Every structure is written in structure tokens, then in C-alpha cells.
Amino acid sequence: MSLEVVLASGSESRRTLLAGAGVEAVAVKPNVDEEAAKASYRASGMRVSDQAMQLAELKAIKVSRARDGLVIGGDQMLNLEGEAMDKPANMAEAASHLRRFSGKTHRLETAIVIAEGGEPVWRHLSTPKLTVRPLSEPFIETYLEAAGPGVLKTVGAYQLEGLGAQLFSRIEGDYFSILGLPLLPLLDYLRVRGVLSS
């Protein structure tokens, strides 16, 4: 009997990516206090990539203690010159973030951990780099008005698969990782475990 795949996430985009790749996964919200965890990590001076990995592991382990199967925990943080940037709280903050990104390159620290029986068994970190072209104030205003409040659900106030593509002059790295899930390494691990045929 094949192992059940459980996604420890409420993320619609991660569920959609898995389903699109033919992976049947049950989604379970991990109910961890992400804000408290992030505050603790940042107070200790933890690197942004390590913060993302720790959060992914926290989610995977929490759900894995209550569910059998392979539990996937994921987290993505935006790293701007060593500073972790969170999702904007409102449209004014989204505009402020875009002003900060303008003309600069940031990294998306995209971490994924698989836990089984309450223990991590596999982890992967992908770090695509995205260069935002210089953005004018009229563009930022028009972009946010057109993109709408959906940008508040994303760490960079953009969705690359939509209007967010207009923000960038250069992108280096895996497209799926930018969307929040390093899909190709994950599929490879699921083949190794016999969940997918090789």
C-alpha cells in the first residue's frame, strides 16, 4: 500500500502545484504560531534561510505527530540584503515593500521538509534570485490597484504567474520554488519512496 502524502499547509498554491503534478495530498493546517516562532528566530540572529527551514520543519513535525504518511512542511521567506521580509499587512505596506525592492535583487528562501513519525526524514532549500526593475510611483500605484488585495497573501506583494511578472528585469532559479514549492526535488524524493512510479 502506498504511503499517504500529507501537506502541512493551508497554502492554495502549494496544493495546486502538487495536484497539477499528479500528487494526491491531503491538506492539514499545522496550527503553529508562526509569528512567535519567527520572533524567536530573529531575536537569536538566525539567518533568513535557516528561519525558513526551521518553520518548514516545525509544521511538518507538528502534523506528522498526528498523521501517518509523508508529511510535507514548507515555508518561504523573502530575503532582502539579509533581512527577512514578511507578507505586507495592508496595501500601504505593500507599496512600501515594493519601493524597497525597486532596483534591487532579493532571494526567496524556499524550504521544504518531509517528516515521518514525528521526525524529519528529508529537507531541501531552494533560493531563487529575483531582480526588481526600478519602479516608479505611478506604476506601483497602478499595479497594486490592478493586482488587488491578493498581493497581501504573498511574501513579496506579487504573484509571478500574474501581474507580478511586470516587476522584474531578471530571474534566476526554479519557477516552482518561486511559487512556494521546490517541486522537482520533491517529486524525485516521492519516486525514491515509491509514492510515484519511476
Concerning whether 75 is annotated as a catalytic residue, the answer is yes
Q: In angstroms, rounded to a whole number, what is the distance separating the alpha carbons of residues 190 and 107?
A: 26
What's the sign of the alpha-carbon dihedral 156, 159, 163, 166? positive
Q: Which of 50, 75, 86, 174 is catalytic?
A: 75
Q: In angstroms, rounded to a whole number, what is the distance separating the alpha carbons of residues 37 and 39?
A: 5
Q: Which residues pair with 9 in a beta bridge?
A: none
Q: Say if residue 111 is exposed, middle or buried (CB neighbours under 10 Å; 0-12, 13-18, 19+).
A: buried
| Residue listed under C-alpha cell 540572529 | 45
Taking 3-state DSSP, the helix, strand and coil percentages for the chain, each rounded to the nearest 5, stand at 40, 25, 35
Per the CB < 8 A criterion, the answer to whether 5 and 197 are in contact is no
Catalytic residues: 75
